[in-house]
Amino acid sequence: MNDLYAVWLVARKDLLQESRSKAVTVATLFFSAVTLVVIAFAIGQDTRLLREAAMGALWVALAFASVISAAQSYQADLEDGAFDALLTTPVPRPAVYLGKLLANWAFMVVLGLVMLPVTIVLYGAEAGPHWPWLIPTIALGTLGFALIAVLYAGLTANLRARESLLPVLMFPVVVPILLAAVRASGALVGIGDLELATGWLLLLAGFDLVYVVLCTAIYHFVVEE
Amino acid sequence: MPTDPHADPAPPPVTTPAIALRGVQRRYGRHLVLRGLDLEVAPGRVVALHGSNGAGKTTLLRLLATRLRPSAGEALVYGHDVIREGHLARGRLATIAVFGGSYGTLTARENLHLATALRGAPTDALDEALGRVGLERVADHLVRTFSSGMRKRLGLARLLLARADLWLLDEPHAALDADGQALVDTLVHEARAAGTTVLMATHETERSFDLADAVLRIDDGLLSRVDAVPT
């Protein structure tokens, strides 16, 4: 069987499950919205500070949402030993990882694109002339989050303390992604500095590339017991 | 009545054994569940595995299914080491878990399509398999609406479609009604006739003596052969 077809089958399975349960959609939408509102309240009425913090708040909300999304996708897998059954098929482990990654990433991109205008309005930021570049920024940033979240969610899926352990393990590793994504999107909003943003975007793409190779290579250790 | 604990339940193999265990141990923390198992099962044999709850039956099946690593020793499926050549071993085997191993938010047909396509097996016989296990009328229902027996039947359909050389069955009769249990027996008989090897962990003592070529018992992490229904 073609490995790419296996990737597609696993991704399709995850997306089909989510389209029916809406478990991740509801949880991440509400959680992200609440995070944005709480941070806005914490900053207060200083409009300049709100504008400056807008992209940081967006990426914090997306980082937490990626934890929920990845953890939930494994919970659905663990019911009735379905994931175990899937892992006894001859599909290579990297194909399983990439399938779950693809589904999580697709979901996170959509969430990011929904939350972006909400953030801009809520924080009084200006999209600026280079706003289309925010789309690849969302795509690359959420890819980085999904890469780490799917790996660590697989590692902690069978643990009792998974809810607390997953963010503790994940967030130190995604700091470079978070930093590059905040800087790139921060450089794009308002007046906009495309040259500065491009540098951060290239760095973001570099991190993603390193993580995709690394995570794919070690995933079989994660799912072996 | 236990005899030689290292006895081969099959005649001397003339080809690569379907299952070969050499000094296999499996430890959970400090607890040694499998204490050095040696076993060879020739292709096409049906072997039943008895033992009390927690004796290590499921551990042994999961180990052969490449889902657990042996802590020591070597486990081979048709000559393929379950660790070093896990993907090749998985290509030869199919499993059915106690709870069926299906996704609740997918329909029966979608579950079968996923499992069959992931094996690279043809997906044109899904309806036939569903009919065989009595699920044709609920083929497009979500599995989360199924009873545990229906989920088990779906697992049997997945087994049929896998076209594997080795079946690893964990309590295949559990949760099934009388018809379902008879279906399992029929499928095992058909598998033997087709040359498929079957290793099944079961508490159905009398039934397994009718079905199996050899009955093994696992106690205190060690295997022994049982020749007759204990009285």
| Distance in Å, alpha carbon of A7 to nearest chain B alpha carbon | 9
Angle between helix axes B148-162 and B108-118 (nearest 10 degrees) is 30
Report the pLDDT averaged over residues B101-125.
Answer: 93
pLDDT above 80: residue B9: no
Hey, how many other C-beta atoms are within 10 angstroms of the C-beta on A218? 14
Backbone angles phi, psi at B185, to 5 degrees: -60, -45
Q: pLDDT-based confidence at B7, cuts 50/70/90? A: low
B1 pLDDT band, cuts 50/70/90, is very low
| pLDDT over 50 (residue A82) | yes
Instruction: Determine which of A52-56, B2-6, B131-135 has the lowest per-residue pLDDT on average.
Output: B2-6
Mean pLDDT of the region B5-34: 80
Which of B99, B100, B118 lies nearest to residue A86, judging by beta carbons? B118
Give the CA distances from residue B131 to residues A40, A145, B99, B154, B161, in Å, rounded to whole numbers and listed in that order.
58, 44, 20, 10, 12
Tokens representing residue B195 in the block: 């040359």
The sheet carrying B31-41 orders its strands as B31-41, B19-28, B72-77, B80-81
Separation between Cα atoms, residue B157 and residue B162, nearest integer Å: 9
Among chain B, residues having any CB pair with chain A shorter than 8 Å are 62, 65-69, 87-88, 90-91, 93-95, 97-106, 110, 114-115, 117-120, 142, 151, 155, 158
Which of the four pLDDT bands, split at 50, 70 and 90, describes residue B101?
confident
Give which of A89, A222, A223, A224 to mutate to test B binding, by max B Cβ within 10 Å. Answer: A89
Please provide the DSSP assignment of B109-161 as one string.
HHHHHHHHHHTT---TTHHHHHHHTT-GGGTTSBGGGS-HHHHHHHHHHHHHH
Domains and CATH numbers, chain B: 19-226 (3.40.50.300)
pLDDT for B70 beyond 60: yes
Which residues contact residue A48 at a Cβ distance below 8 angstroms, ignoring those fewer than 6 apart? none
Q: How many CB pairs under 8 A join A and B?
A: 87
Q: What percent of chain B has pLDDT over 70?
A: 92
Q: Cα B12 from chain centroid? A: 22
* Averaged pLDDT for residues A33-40: 96
Instruction: Give the per-residue pLDDT at B204.
Output: 86
pLDDT score of A224: 79
Q: pLDDT tens digits for A159-210?
A: 877 778 888 999 999 999 999 999 999 999 977 888 999 999 999 999 999 9
Nearest to B194 by CA among B216, B176, B215, B167: B167
**What pTM was computed for the model?**
0.90
Q: Residue A45 — pLDDT band, cuts 50, 70, 90?
A: confident
Whole-number pLDDT of residue B97: 83
Q: Order across the sheet with B214-219: list the strands.
A: B93-96, B166-170, B197-201, B46-50, B214-219, B222-226
pLDDT at A160: 76
Q: Considering chain B, what is the average pLDDT of its residues? A: 90
Write the pLDDT tens digit of every residue in B129-164: 999 999 999 999 999 999 999 999 999 999 999 999
pLDDT of residue B11: 54
